[in-house]
């Protein structure tokens, strides 16, 4: 589970300018790596939003789908990870966002995948899919197929 914070689809120099990526799938995953493991099983190019908010965030240069988890909270407050807020505060990133996929756990009740709902509402894009933890093989198949149709 030694995972680089940035995938190979990212170019640019850290600390100097925002890291550009043309990946069609951009995701955030905490140190638990659940979302990372799910994304790794998809046959699409992806880029990971840096784990630390002190690091420069990514800059998308082509349309993309965002995948992000929600950790169980009591309300909407704080549902969207700070790292993702930093990423979406870049206006160009919001403009290229086409859809959101949420990860989570139904045990969290009302807040299951809430971060995906919040971003979808704010950015006026659809929630494409929801899956739990690192996803099952069926989730991988459905998202693979769904994304293929979504981009055509």
Partner 1 sequence: MTEKVKLLSHVEAINWNRIQDDKDVDVWNRLVNNFWLPEKVPLSNDVQSWNTLTPVEQQLTMRVFTGLTLLDTIQGTVGAVSLIPDAITPHEEAVYTNIAFMESVHAKSYSSIFSTLASTKEIDEAFRWSTENVNLQKKAHIVMDYYQGDDPLKRKVASTLLESFLFYSGFYLPMYWSSRAKLTNTADLIRLIIRDEAVHGYYIGYKFQKGLEKVSEEKRQEIKDYTFELLFELYENEVQYTHDLYDGVGLAEDVKKFLHYNANKALMNLGYEAMFPSSVTDVNPAILSALSPNADENHDFFSGSGSSYVIGKAVNTEDEDWDF
114 binds partner 1 (CB under 8 A): yes
Q: How far is the CB of 13 from partner 1 (least distance, A)?
A: 25
Q: Phi first, then psi: give them for residue 32, nearest 5 degrees.
A: -70, -20
94 binds partner 1 (CB under 8 A): yes
- The residue count for binding partner 1 (CB under 8 A) is 57
Buried b (16+ CB within 10 A) or exposed e, 52-62: eeebbbbbbee
Q: Is the dihedral of CA 99, 21, 25, 37 positive or negative?
A: negative
Q: In what order do the strands lie in the sheet with 64-69?
A: 46-48, 25-27, 64-69, 97-104
For partner 1, the closer of residues 12 and 73 by Cβ is: 73
126 binds partner 1 (CB under 8 A): yes
By CB under 8 A, name the binding residues for partner 1: 1-2, 30-32, 34, 71-78, 80, 82, 85, 88-89, 91, 94, 99-100, 105-110, 112-114, 116-122, 124-130, 132-134, 136-138, 142-143, 145-146, 150
């Amino acid at each position: 589970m030694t995972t680089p914070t940035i995938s190979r689809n990212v170019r640019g120099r850290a600390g100097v300018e925002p890291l550009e990526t043309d990946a069609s799938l951009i995701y955030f995953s905490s140190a638990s790596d659940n979302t990372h493991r799910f994304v790794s099983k998809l046959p699409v190019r992806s880029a990971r939003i840096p784990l630390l908010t002190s690091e420069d965030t990514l800059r998308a240069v082509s349309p993309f789908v965002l995948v992000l988890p929600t950790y169980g909270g009591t309300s909407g407050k704080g549902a969207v990870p700070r790292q993702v807020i930093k990423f979406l505060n870049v206006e160009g990133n919001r403009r290229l966002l086409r859809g959101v996929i949420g990860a989570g756990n139904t045990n969290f009740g009302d807040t299951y995948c809430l971060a995906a709902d919040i971003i979808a509402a704010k950015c006026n894009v659809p929630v494409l899919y929801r899956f739990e933890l690192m996803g099952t093989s069926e989730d991988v198949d459905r998202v693979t197929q769904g994304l293929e149709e979504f981009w055509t």
